[in-house]
Amino acid sequence: MKKTFLLFFLVTSTLIFAQNVSEDQYFTSEQMAVFPDGGIPHFRQLIAENFRPRKVKGKGIEACQLRFVIDRDGTITDIKAEGTNESFNKEAVLAISKIKTKWIPAKIEGITVRYMMRVPLTMDFN
């Protein structure tokens, strides 16, 4: 019985303490991801240029929260939009997908890491 308990303890402690950091995890970083040539204002301008308002069904003020990941190589991945107007969300995702400029990736202790970004987007369709 003692041997079984000892074996169980060793196996579970190895599973608990030997977890490696996966590439799918996100971190807070000491150096944030940076959009080159003008930063976030330029990035927002590119979203606006790629956005096609005629594809949005609705009137008035529409808003969504864009969430995406800056990968280790600076590419934009895992784009999602959360808001009440589905056509606005879809067009926001398409607009950001068209941006091919690579970001300067985030770093922790000098190592590039994936970085999650959130950008609020609001437009007036009046």
Backbone Cα Rg of the chain: 21
pLDDT tens figures, 10-25: 333 333 333 344 555 5
Domain boundaries, the chain: 22-124
Identify which of 123, 94, 122, 119 has the alpha carbon closest to the alpha carbon of residue 39.
Answer: 119
CA quadruple 87, 93, 94, 96: dihedral, nearest 10: 140
**CA distance linking residue 89 with residue 22, whole number of Å:** 30
Q: What pTM, to 2 d.p., does this model score?
A: 0.72
pLDDT tens figures, 71-100: 999 999 999 999 999 999 999 999 999 999
Residue whose pair of structure tokens reads 């985030």 in the numeric block? 106
Count of positions (residues) in the chain: 126
**CA distance linking residue 53 with residue 46, whole number of Å:** 14
- pLDDT higher than 70, residue 6: no
Q: How many CA atoms lie within 13 A of 96 on its CB side?
A: 29
Identify which of 35, 43, 36, 23 has the alpha carbon closest to the alpha carbon of residue 114.
Answer: 23
Q: Which fold has domain 22-124?
A: 3.30.1150
Percent of residues, the chain, with pLDDT higher than 90: 63
pLDDT grade for 29, boundaries at 50, 70 and 90: low
Identify which of 70, 67, 49 has the alpha carbon closest to the alpha carbon of residue 123.
Answer: 49
